[in-house]
Amino acid sequence: MSEVKNFGDTEASKAADVNLGDAPKKAAPVNMIQSLNWALHDAMEADANVIVFGEEIADPEGGGIVKISSGLSTKYGNRVRSTPISEMGFMGAAVGAAVVGFKPVVEIMLMNFVAVCMDQITNHAAKLRFMSGGQTHVPMVIRTMTGSGFQNGGQHSDFLEAWFCHTPGIKVVMPSNPADGYGLLRSAIDDEDPVLFIEHLNNYWTPGAAPERGKKIPLGKARIHRPGKDVTVIGYSRSMLDIPPVVEKLAKEGIDCEVIDLRTVQPMDMDTILTSVKKTGRAVIVHEACRSFGVGAELSSRIHEALFRELKAPVERVASEDCPVPYAPPLEAAYLYTHAELEASIRKTLA
């Protein structure tokens, strides 16, 4: 295994790296909304079995609340449908259509609303392949958005990825930038298993390199965002906006962090992670979801199990408080980890 095995292993991740590095940009920056919209258009064009539904996603209803599905219904007609506010009904409909060969992409407007259709996701989409002995399977994508920082309170802001990572049969993808968003969504739609695709409200409007249309990024492959030798800092989704400024600040002091963007949370790219941590001997995991029983706990455990004797410090977790997401801005800020906490955690592994 090379030390930076997955660095720039696809054209799309090169494009993402280009935007964050010094090389000239190939195309004008775009945001995640644009790149996901392109991915949906290109997937529908490429495969007539791709169908899209969810609340308010057709053009007469606005093309989605942040317009990610804009233009789809106008171009693809009946394959794109706004649904009643009926998550259990249309999630089950996606399962049924997928069982007979369609590739539904369903939108759950905000991640907390998965709670009203969990049965169809965790008891059916995730398990039909196994329970049928492989006779049926459920190739569908559930797109959903979430994130704190918008005063949306306790039922519109949670990161619940750990629920689904704990359900064998589902894959969980959490992109951090527009180019990854495009390439990962294309692969998620092609995938033969159900994929939960979680988008962060905070990342929607952050500009990044434009994706190369048609270039897919394989699921289950992390991206080395910044090579380094002292501490491995692992993030995904929104935390990939917070990690770079802290890491660059520390770089000025000579602390050289390697930053890994997981991109796919389940399955995790353990090769890339363990190769990096073997080199650095230190790891810090950063996620917006609350700390306890989360992805950070699983990853920390896996690193300790594999590399206990080679670690120079215990693995650190940087995450949100174990409380519902609060409403008042000072409380909401207190809920989320801070850049200072991230910096302190990195320093702690070096102490």
Partner 1 sequence: MSMTQPDSKTLVDIYQKMTLIKHSDDRVIGAMKAGRMVMPYYSARGQECIPSAISVQLTDEDYLVTIYRGVHDMLAKGLPPKLLWAELAGKVTGSCKGKGGPMHLTYPSKGCMVTTGVVGASMPIACGLGLAAQLRGESRVTVANFGDGASNIGAFHESLNLAAVWKLPVIFVCQNNRYAEHTAYSKGTSVERIADRAASYNMPGLHVDGNDPIAVYNAAKQAIARARAGEGPTLIEAVTFRFNGHLIGDAGEYIPKPEYERAVKDDPYPRYRNWLVENKHATAADLDAIDASIKQLIDEAEAFAMSSAAPDASEVKRDVYATEIA
Under 8 Å CB-to-CB from 115, ≥6 apart: which residues?
A: none
Does residue 81 contact residue 136 with C-beta atoms inside 8 Å? Answer: no
To the nearest whole angstrom, how small is the minimum distance from the Cβ of residue 304 to partner 1?
19
Residue 218 is a binding residue for partner 1 (CB under 8 A): no
> Which one-letter DSSP state was computed for residue 174?
-
Interface with partner 1 includes 100 (CB under 8 A)?
Answer: yes
Residue 301 engages partner 1 in binding (rule: CB under 8 A): no
Residues with catalytic annotation?
87, 156
Q: Which is nearer to partner 1, 94 or 160 (CB)?
A: 94
Single residue of 1, 2, 28, 134 touching partner 1 by CB under 8 A: 134
Which amino acid appears at position 317 of this protein? R
Angle in degrees, CA 201, 202, 203, rounded to 5 = 95
- Residue 259: phi, psi to the nearest 5? -110, 125
Residue 111 sits in the site that holds partner 1 (CB under 8 A): no
Position 329, amino acid: P
Residues that contact partner 1, how many (by CB under 8 A): 43
Binding letters toward partner 1, positions 224-243, x by CB under 8 A = --------------------
Q: Does 151 bind partner 1 (CB under 8 A)?
A: no
Task: Based on DSSP, count helices (H) and strands (E) in the chain, helices before strands.
Answer: 14, 12
Select the residue interacting with partner 1 from 60, 101, 254, 330 (CB under 8 A): 101
Nearest residue (CB) to partner 1, 76 versus 335: 76
CA-based max dimension of the chain: 60
Nearer Cβ to partner 1 (78/340): 78
Closest CA to 243 of 233, 253, 228, 232: 233
d(CA 342, CA 333): 14
130/150 with CB nearer partner 1: 130
The one segment of 28-36, 124-132, 248-256, 326-334 that binds partner 1 by CB under 8 A: 124-132
Among 45, 47, 192, 310, binds partner 1 (CB under 8 A): 192
CB-based contacts of 92, cutoff 8 Å, min separation 6:
117, 120, 124
Cα–Cα dist 51/102, whole Å: 7
Binding site for partner 1 (CB under 8 A): 51, 78-79, 81, 83-84, 86, 88-102, 104, 119-120, 123-124, 128-137, 168-169, 171, 191-193
